Amino acid sequence: MVGEEGLDGKGFYVKPTVCGRVKSDSRLAQEEVFGPVLSIITYTDEADAVRTGMVDINGGGFNMQAPFGGY
């Protein structure tokens, strides 16, 4: 895990954290995380890699044609 130091002592800033090899049934993958966190979920084959969901980066517009509601 990178960035797990937490608050930097200069305010209420939490350093970005990258979590690798997160299992899809783990709490980290299933619940919403408040903060700058990236969870990397590995896959075994192409069929396992194809999942649906949405990503919103810096207030991007809502896409009515994108899959919604998990997989």
pLDDT tens string 27-36: 998 898 888 8
**Where residue 21 falls among pLDDT bands split at 50, 70, 90?**
very high
Highest mean pLDDT among 7-11, 38-42, 60-64: 38-42
32-55 exposure pattern, b = at least 16 Cβ within 10 A, e = fewer: eeeeeeebebeeeeeeeeeeeeee
pLDDT score of 69: 61
What's the predicted TM-score (pTM) here? 0.54
Q: Region 53-71: what's the mean pLDDT? A: 69
Domain boundaries along the sequence of the chain: 1-51
